[in-house]
């Protein structure tokens, strides 16, 4: 199995491992959440910063202060106000932003591997459809609990039948290829909202596939941009040194933010509120990525897309 199939196109093993531990070893549920957040979730959020603050990117930030500095500061301010003044509503907005961000990446990954216009359109329509459907299901399961446990069996049957029909049509039109598997990945990331009891799992379980995609791609882009920058100034950078530097940054970020996340279970209100710090990091991640991966912008095509296309197979 190729690395790209395992980490980008169809990283199904990660939610399967997560689900196996969750249902066969429920006594380790808390540890499972903690380890997943530490090793995948927060590292993936942390990878935004070496990707964004790389030396070669500073000029771009200075040239676009509104989108890359002022608007991120406004997001921080409004997120703080939302968290402390209308917390329940803010968390719903936060989840919606999460779903939209993941959906955009899922479709973006599909576009990297698929060049046939009609197939891309099919992928786009149904990736957005299923992720919107799962957001609605999550809303009526966990925010306004209209979908009760006794309705879950019929809900899952209906969703699986619908997805099977969409998949059958896809294969009939475009054949069974790795592009189909990438499409499946984009469609089922939030499927756990249909059967998990704890809403945390609906955010983490399937989204492990999103985390691995992002970590794989950002690592490659940051590495290639670092090599390019150092070559321009006549310096060399060893791959071992580069990897350790990248890993140290994202794991330090992950350790700190995971620690703040754990305070959410504290009995002290002021400690509970520290969870806003990782939430702020995530909100900034959602926004900054929408700018850094916008390939309609020439700078991003030259400094991001160019390096991604080098590894696409």
How does the average pLDDT of the chain come out, rounded? 92
Provide the domain limits for residue 54.
3-309
Count CA atoms within 13 Å of residue 246 on its CB side.
25
As given in the structure block, the two tokens for residue 226 are 């670092």
| 228-263 tens-digit pLDDT | 766 554 455 555 566 778 889 999 999 999 999 888
pLDDT exceeds cutoff 60 at 127: yes
pLDDT over 90 percentage in the chain: 78
Helix%, strand%, coil% for the chain, nearest 5 = 85, 0, 15
Q: Among 24-28, 57-61, 110-114, which stretch is predicted with the lowest mean pLDDT?
A: 57-61
Angle in degrees, CA 82, 86, 89, rounded to 5: 90
What totals of helices (H) and strands (E) does the chain contain, helices first?
19, 0
Rg (CA), the chain: 20
Residues 290, 292, 295, 296, CA torsion sign: positive
Count CA atoms within 13 Å of residue 16 on its CB side.
6
pLDDT over 70 percentage in the chain: 95
At residue 161 the predicted structure's pLDDT band, cuts being 50, 70 and 90, is very high
Whole-structure pTM value: 0.92
SS3 63: helix
C-alpha separations of 93 from 73, 97, 147, 243 in Å: 18, 6, 20, 35
Angle in degrees, CA 65, 69, 73, rounded to 5: 145
| pLDDT at 240 (0 to 100) | 56
Range 192-220 average pLDDT = 95
Of the candidates 97, 117, 112, the residue with the CA atom closest to the CA atom of residue 45: 97
SS3 13: helix
In a 10 Å sphere around its CB, with 0-12 CB exposed, 13-18 middle and 19+ buried, how is residue 188 labelled? Answer: buried
At residue 216 the predicted structure's pLDDT band, cuts being 50, 70 and 90, is very high
At residue 156 the predicted structure's pLDDT band, cuts being 50, 70 and 90, is very high
Number of domains in the chain: 1
**More confident position, 267 or 168:** 168
Contact 145, 44 (CB under 8 A): no
């Amino acid at each position: 199995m190729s690395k790209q199939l395992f980490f980008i196109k169809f990283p199904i093993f990660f939610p399967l491992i997560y689900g196996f531990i969750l249902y066969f070893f429920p006594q380790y549920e808390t540890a499972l959440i903690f380890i997943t957040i530490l090793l995948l979730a927060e590292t993936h959020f942390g990878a935004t910063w070496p990707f964004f603050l790389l030396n070669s990117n500073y000029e771009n930030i200075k040239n676009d202060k509104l989108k890359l500095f002022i608007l991120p500061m406004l997001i921080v301010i409004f997120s703080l106000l939302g968290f402390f003044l209308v917390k329940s509503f803010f968390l719903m907005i936060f989840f919606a932003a999460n779903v939209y961000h993941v959906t955009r990446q899922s479709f973006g990954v599909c576009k990297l591997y698929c060049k046939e216009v009609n197939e891309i359109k099919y992928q786009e329509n149904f990736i957005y459809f299923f992720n919107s459907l799962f957001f609605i299901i999550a809303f009526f399961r966990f925010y306004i609990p209209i979908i009760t446990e006794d309705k879950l069996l019929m809900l899952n049957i209906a969703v699986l039948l619908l997805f099977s029909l969409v998949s059958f049509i896809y294969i009939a039109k475009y054949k069974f290829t790795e592009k189909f598997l990438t499409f499946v990945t984009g469609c089922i990331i939030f499927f756990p909202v249909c059967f998990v009891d704890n809403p945390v799992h609906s955010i983490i379980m399937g989204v492990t596939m999103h985390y691995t995609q992002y970590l794989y791609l950002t690592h490659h882009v940051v590495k290639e941009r670092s090599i390019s920058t150092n070559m321009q100034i006549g310096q060399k950078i060893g791959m071992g040194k580069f990897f350790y530097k990248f890993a140290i940054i994202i794991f330090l970020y992950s350790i700190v933010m995971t620690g703040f996340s754990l305070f959410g279970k504290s009995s002290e209100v002021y400690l509970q509120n520290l969870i806003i710090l990782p939430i702020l990091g995530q909100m900034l991640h959602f926004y900054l990525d929408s700018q850094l991966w916008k390939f309609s912008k020439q700078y991003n095509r030259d400094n991001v897309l160019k390096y991604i296309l080098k590894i696409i197979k």
